Amino acid sequence: MNWFACSLVRSAFLLSLAASSVPAVAEEGPQPPRIVVAGVGTVRTAPDAATLTFNVRGEGPTADAASRALVERREAIKAGIASLVGSVPLRTSDLSLTEARDKACQGEWQEGGRLSQGECAVRGYIANMDATVRISTVDKAGTLTGLVARLGGSDVRLSGFGLTDETEAKRKAMTAAFADARAQAEAIAAGAGVRLGTLYYVNDNQAPAVQEIEVTASRAEPVPSPLVTPPVLISVEPSPVETTVRLNVTYTIAP
């Protein structure tokens, strides 16, 4: 079956579907014959934000000692970040403080848990905290990843790139989606031997944005670097951020 025949079949199906459904905004009474299409618009934009995630760890013979070690390491990492990209928020979560026992303590379980004696005596404490930082200097994201690891961050990961403001990208994607819908509707109308009428109904079924990027109002001046040795430069070349808009668009058929 060629393209023209496929278009005629599709047009007939859409027309019958439209005739059996009434949009919420339509008035009561007989509805005009319609063409329903799904328009898709996608734009690609260079990212202007990067997100790093990592873990901060502190160890010590007591809970207080482990907590102080964690705080000192966190502050050193914050100072290192500020020296490279300026002052940015360091978001932390999932703080834990666990007891550390000898590795020989295996399977020594009693009702209520392990007894803190013998091989299972508490040897110290480990404090862990998850941290996230978002920066607007994308070109320094790779270098910052290595720097955070040098300053004591563990499981450091450059987890993604994004846009600080999607407004313009969404506007362009919306325009492209409308153009795609119009082109489809015109092709169907031409294949069916009818004239395309006016825009009748638009439905946007999009889900919320997948990735949220925090925007800071201003950046502080870079602080003097506390590092004796400059960080290793790691260049990154992120892929463009894709913004997609999908619209269900209905047109009338001109008499």
Closest CA to 92 of 148, 53, 130: 130
The order of strands in the sheet holding 195-204 is 34-45, 241-254, 195-204
- Per-residue confidence (pLDDT) for residue 69, from 0 to 100: 95
Which tens digits make up the pLDDT trace of 142-153? 999 999 999 999
Residue 103: what pLDDT?
Answer: 80
pLDDT over threshold 50, residue 25: no
What confidence tens digit (pLDDT) does each residue in 109-125 have? 544 566 677 778 888 99
- Mind spelling out the 3-state secondary structure of 196-211? EEEEEEEEECCCCCCC
Residue 62 has pLDDT above 80, yes or no: yes
> Tokens 């300026």 appear where?
86
Kindly list the domain boundaries of the chain, sorted by start residue: 3-46+165-218+228-254, 49-162
How much is the pLDDT for 81? 95
Residue among 230, 221, 216, 234 nearest 80 (CA):
230
| Phi, then psi, of 10 in degrees rounded to 5 | -65, -40
Res 43: pLDDT: 94
Own/partner long-range contacts of 164-168 (Cβ < 8 Å, ≥24 apart): 164/48, 164/49, 164/136, 164/213, 164/215, 165/215, 166/209, 166/243
CATH of 49-162, one of 3.30.2130.10, 3.40.50.300, 3.40.1710.10, 3.30.70.2970: 3.30.70.2970
Q: Which pLDDT belongs to residue 170?
A: 93
Q: Do domains 3-46+165-218+228-254 and 49-162 have the same CATH topology?
A: no
211 pLDDT band, cuts 50/70/90, is: very low
Instruction: Report the percent of the chain where pLDDT is more than 90.
Output: 60
pLDDT of residue 232: 85
pLDDT at 236: 84
Side chain identity, residue 42:
T
Grouping H, G, I as helix, E, B as strand and the rest as coil, residue 217 is: coil
Bridge partners of 50, per DSSP, are: 135, 161
Element (H, E) at 156: strand 154-162
Q: What angle do CA 224, 228, 230 make, to 5 degrees?
A: 80
Whole-number Å distance between alpha carbons of 187 and 192? 9
**What pLDDT is stored for residue 118 in this prediction?**
75
Q: Which CATH superfamily is domain 3-46+165-218+228-254 in?
A: Protein of unknown function (DUF541), domain 1 (3.30.110.170)
Q: Provide the pLDDT for residue 132.
A: 96
Q: Which residue has the tokens 């910052």?
A: 144
Residue 16, pLDDT score: 41
Mind listing the pLDDT tens digit for each residue in 99-110?
988 887 765 454
Q: Are 121 and 101 in contact (CB under 8 A)?
A: yes
Q: Model confidence over 75-94: pLDDT tens digits?
A: 999 999 999 999 999 999 89
